[in-house]
Homo-oligomer: A and B are copies of this chain.
Amino acid sequence: MSKIITLITDFRTSDGYMGAIFGVIKSINMNLEIITIASNIPPADIRKASRALANSYRFYPQGTIHMVVVDPTVGPLRRALIIDDGRYLFLGPDNGVLTPVLKNNPDCNCYDVKNPKYQLVSASETFHGRDLFAPVAAYLSLGIPPDEFGPPITDPLLIEDPQPEIMGKNIIGKVIDIDAFGNLVTNVPAEMIPENPIITVCGRKIEGLSKSYADVQEKQPLAYIGSSGTLEIAINRGNAANYFGAFIFEDLKISDGGKR
């Protein structure tokens, strides 16, 4: 059974760096498929890479190897991790980018990739995507067990996402992602939201939850449960980030509008 290796990276499509990573992998194992989950992540944006991973990884077949190469702290002091969550293997820098995996399953096994046998020799310490992550991913796909690459560790770096807070009768949430359509993805899960919410963001109010964009007039705002299961805010055929002037980590307030 051939394997899938996925890639999430802040490399652009124009430099050939991604091409070098693909070549290293295929030279070690021709019998696998590489799927780019996300490229052109804003440079060094660990939070955005982490979101792309959270949006996609659980939809892949068991045994998929997910590799994340967004690595502003690349160098000899920054550890490289393999994480085994029982269903997938994950590979990436120990900079917090794999946090969603560790939050979803605290029983993951983590390994510190150290064994030079599975890395390319290079004069440079600046391209771990090609020299470390690519060969390690390829050897993992050949069935080399994770603990062959380095010792287990129990202290991977975690990034704490802001959590929604209850203040009196209101919920205070935050915008935790703005996607390429300008939709505002928040950290407030569906379960916390009252039946008929009044949502205030950037001084403007949205009443009620919609099921789909077309529930409101064109260019009007709506709130809905997004594809990740949390509250999102959009403009029907428009860009909510521009409309509201909203930035990442913008606050929003959710109050109970009572029975409809």
Query: Which A residues form the contact surface with B (CB < 8 A)?
Result: 1-2, 4, 6, 8, 11-20, 22-24, 26-27, 30, 33-44, 48, 51-61, 64, 72-78, 122-127, 130-131, 179-181, 190, 211-215, 224-227, 229, 232, 234, 237, 239
**Bound CA–CA A122/B74 (angstroms):** 38
Q: How many copies does the complex hold?
A: 3
- Can you name 18 A-B residue pairings with CB atoms under 8 Å? A6-B23, A12-B180, A13-B36, A13-B38, A14-B38, A14-B41, A16-B56, A18-B37, A20-B227, A23-B37, A23-B61, A24-B59, A26-B60, A34-B35, A43-B239, A123-B229, A126-B226, A126-B234
A215:B75 contact, CB within 8 angstroms: yes
Chain B contacts for A23, CB-based, 8 A? 6, 35, 37, 56-61, 64
B130:A15 contact, CB within 8 angstroms: no
Chain B contacts for A212, CB-based, 8 A? 74-76, 125-126
> Which single residue of chain B is at the shortest CB-CB distance from A183?
B126
Chain B contacts for A225, CB-based, 8 A? 123-124
**Bound CA–CA A61/B42 (angstroms):** 31
B213:A14 contact, CB within 8 angstroms: no
Beyond A15-B180, A227-B122, whether A27 also contacts B72 by CB under 8 A is no
A213:B180 contact, CB within 8 angstroms: no
List 3 A-B pairs, minimum CB-CB distance, nearest first.
A19-B37, A75-B212, A16-B52
Chain B contacts for A17, CB-based, 8 A? 55-56, 179, 227
B123:A190 contact, CB within 8 angstroms: yes
**Bound CA–CA A51/B60 (angstroms):** 31
Chain B contacts for A64, CB-based, 8 A? 23
Chain B contacts for A61, CB-based, 8 A? 23, 26-27, 30
**Bound CA–CA A13/B35 (angstroms):** 12
**Bound CA–CA A164/B92 (angstroms):** 37
Beyond A26-B35, A180-B43, whether A124 also contacts B19 by CB under 8 A is no
**Bound CA–CA A96/B254 (angstroms):** 38
Partner of A44, one of B13, B43, B44, B237: B237
B214:A73 contact, CB within 8 angstroms: yes
Given contacts A15-B38, A43-B181, A126-B224, 8 further A-B contacts (CB under 8 A): A14-B41, A14-B42, A14-B180, A15-B180, A19-B38, A23-B59, A77-B214, A124-B225
